Structure 1
Amino acid sequence: MSTADLLYSDTEDALRESVRRLLADRCPPELVAEAYDQESVDFTGIWKSLAVDLGLAGLLVPESLGGAGASAREAAVVMEEVGRAVAPVPYLSSAVLATVALLEAGDEQTVGALAEGATTAALAVGLATPPGRFAPRVRREANTLVGTVTSVAGVPEADILVVPVEGPEGLELHTVSAGAAGVSVTQVLSLDMTRPLSDVVFDGAASTRVDGGTASTGADGGTADEAVRAALGAGAALLASEQLGLAQWCFETTLAYVKERKQFGRAVGSFQAIKHRIADIWLEVTSATAAARYAADAYARGDSDAEIAAALAQAYCSDVAVHAAEECIQLHAGIGMTWEYPAHLYLKRAKSDQLAFGTPYRHRAHLATLIDLPA
């Protein structure tokens, strides 16, 4: 078993700098806030810059399939910066969830298109689905798909839907064109409009089976069930890094504000009560850094503790992100409550992320079973 390494490498630091610079230039908070005021606002250009110009869509794809051949560690760095900017891009839904599912099922053609950035995909599984608790909502009837999946992330930007399907011999994995006949998409109102959720109805939609083998086992990949579990597991592990990124932004922004904001002739950050609250956030964010990095590193190494690390990171980082965002609003006082100030964007993303892939309670309960802790 290899030893965990929680430090960032020079390559990861360089990647972070490139992503942060692009998002700061192309995705400022005032632009992100437009998602709440204008439903038609288009962030496609930002995603294409990340996916194509920086090549981030193919980070997890092997070089033999046209990707970068990187690991979850590099993907985690991107997720941190996506969280830090609350960027409305489908990195989690396409470059992580859909890509990992297709790779695990042995797909090559669709994954190659995703790696190029020319195509975007979404895994047709509800975003709140915990790893290990997936149940298919779509079935195969007469070689077409029938069923409804609710609260799917990344559908408006997707060209292809990766759909887990209940077949006669077990779970299968299919791809469907998002604009195909028999597929209808309804965007639902969600707390975090920067990661829109949609209900997808399949009513006689034609599809292509990815895993292609018998008993839902692909010729060159794992079973469809293993593919979906791997995708949700990777999503949970890497979501912790997004939660870390937004918590870091909230802490750093709040700290800078209380140093400058004066009341009664003194910086409010000099008051003991404020110092204690800032110190609490710093301690939580520092601990979240270790938890998120360990989850990404364990997943990258294929460590036997990867599932434990992901459950631990989600149980902890979810609450830290929400707390940091709440304190950001509270300690900014009146300005923190305004629509123009970006703090609300971070609270909404933090709360949405807290419910993704299962609540912290579910992850704590799952963690207990993983470490054989009696109820």
Structure 2
Amino acid sequence: MTERTETGQAPDLLYSEAEEDLRAAVRSLLADRADAPSVIDRTESGTPYDPQLWKALATGIGAAGLLVPEELGGQGATHREAAVVLEELGRSVAPAPYLTSSVVATETLLALGAQDGPAAGLLAELAEGRKVAVPAVPFSASSLSGLSSDPRAGADGLDARLGPVADAAAADVLLVPAADGLYAVATDAPGVRVEPLVALDLTRPLATVTLDGAPGTRLADAGAAARAVDRGLLAGAGLLASEQLGLAEWCLTETVRHTRERHQFNRPVGSFQALKHRMAQLWLEVVSARAAARNAADSLATGSPDTPLAVAVAQAYCSKVAVHAAEECVQLHGGIGMTWEHPAHLYLKRAKADATAYGTAGRHRETVAALMELPAP
């Protein structure tokens, strides 16, 4: 394993033994409770979330509190461990609010730096899996700057129409950035309406959130709120790359398996040179995506000054690889890949939806260009 220097210049891209143990536990749970038929059935029913799956993942394994320090009731782990959980969730496209709640919302609250008070109390509840919180910002937002509408905080409460908000249907608490600060708003409070939207990705539902005089608990002032939410979105974009990596790995593995078993002209179709070349190219892309995703997770974990660059590179590359892997999976499965019964369509939809989450690949390439002072074409 690469030794880290005192200046943190050598990122560790390998998986530790503890991370592999965590992977095995999460994969076993998802194989039992979120296999392909189960996920397809739940998306068809219109209720994709499985409360028992979330309880087992968040509380049984303790994944919800990985980023929360032990003194606040969490596991005291790092973004590297959270990235492993997201890789496995990407492999199964399991409908679970892990990215939005256990990463983005949790990182936002941690960035406030509160050791007591409402923010610390909410963090403890998230770490223990007793509540789910999601940021009430569009799923496509990469930062608060540029958002067209800010919630207004008045004497009667908060007023706004926000969306599309990912996983709002599964949330107990919304983190609402307003003009004068950050508010925690319970989804069952008066004046709060969560209206489901028709989303491409049925495994990560979107919703419009309407606040009409909704009561909220103020967690921070405007300046601290903006910095905290932007930090949460940065962590979300960085670890989303790990979800995209897991998705791409499943698509490649499943495609190789299918082309070995599927025969034409008395030969496995995977032995045809044209298909071998396509799968070899995809393998190279997945290997590179793993390096980019691990670098982003390691940078977030170590607080590297190059974190914004590492995240931008990971998102600019991994979103493209995930979409390509899912497209190849559908096409190389032939007719069965086009059916609703086969899970390939879930992976393609998740990959397409993830490609616009927390900033598009184009937006992240612009970030890379700005950070590296490269002139735009």
- TM-score scaled by length of structure 1: 0.95
- Name the stretch that deviates more: 151-160 or 41-50: 41-50
Q: How does 1:165-244 map to 2 (within 5 A)?
A: 165-167=178-180, 172-211=181-220, 216=222, 223-244=224-245
| Deviations 1:126-164, CA, capped at 9 Å, x for gaps | 100023645352121126111111110111111111111
Aligned partner of 1:123 in structure 2 is 135
Are residues 1:284 and 2:290 paired? Answer: no
Partner Cα separation in structure 1 for residue 257 and residue 265 of structure 2: 18
Q: 1:128 to 1:225 in 2, by over 3 A?
A: same
**Residues 131 and 236 of structure 1 are in contact (CA less than 8 Å); yes or no, is this contact kept in structure 2?**
no
**Residues 255 and 278 of structure 1 are in contact (CA less than 8 Å); yes or no, is this contact kept in structure 2?**
yes
| Deviations 1:246-267, CA, capped at 9 Å, x for gaps | 0000001101111111100111
Structure 1: where are the runs of 5+ without partners? Answer: 218-222
Partner Cα separation in structure 1 for residue 214 and residue 144 of structure 2: 27
| Deviations 1:277-329, CA, capped at 9 Å, x for gaps | 00110010000000000000011110011000000000000010000000001
Report the Cα offset of residue 71 of structure 1. Answer: 0.5
Match of 1:153 among 159, 166, 171: 166
Match of 1:94 among 88, 91, 101: 101
Equivalent AA in structure 1 for residue 367 of structure 2 = H
**Residues 35 and 193 of structure 1 are in contact (CA less than 8 Å); yes or no, is this contact kept in structure 2?**
no
Secondary structure at the counterpart of residue 210 of structure 1:
strand
Structure 2: where are the runs of 5+ without partners? Answer: 1-6
Partner Cα separation in structure 2 for residue 196 and residue 161 of structure 1: 15
Report the Cα offset of residue 36 of structure 1. Answer: 3.2
- Name the stretch that deviates more: 147-156 or 33-42: 33-42
Quick one: percent identity of the two aligned structures? 52
Are residues 1:38 and 2:45 paired? Answer: yes
| Deviations 1:219-246, CA, capped at 9 Å, x for gaps | xxxx111100100000000000000000
Aligned partner of 2:3 in structure 1 is none
Report the Cα offset of residue 102 of structure 1. Answer: 1.1
Match of 1:12 among 19, 27, 30: 19
Equivalent AA in structure 1 for residue 174 of structure 2 = L
Secondary structure at the counterpart of residue 289 of structure 1:
helix
Report the Cα offset of residue 46 of structure 1. Answer: 0.6
Aligned partner of 2:70 in structure 1 is 63
User: Which segments of structure 1 move beyond 4 Å, counting only runs of 4 or more?
Assistant: none
**Residues 48 and 202 of structure 2 are in contact (CA less than 8 Å); yes or no, is this contact kept in structure 1?**
no
Q: 1:373 to 1:132 in 2, by over 3 A?
A: farther
Q: How does 1:315-330 map to 2 (within 5 A)?
A: 315-330=316-331
Partner Cα separation in structure 1 for residue 51 and residue 88 of structure 2: 18
Partner Cα separation in structure 1 for residue 49 and residue 126 of structure 2: 20
Match of 2:155 among 133, 142, 149: 142
Partner Cα separation in structure 2 for residue 246 and residue 73 of structure 1: 17
Secondary structure at the counterpart of residue 368 of structure 1:
helix
Q: How many residues align?
A: 363
Are residues 1:308 and 2:314 paired? Answer: no
Secondary structure at the counterpart of residue 33 of structure 1:
helix
Partner Cα separation in structure 1 for residue 87 and residue 311 of structure 2: 15
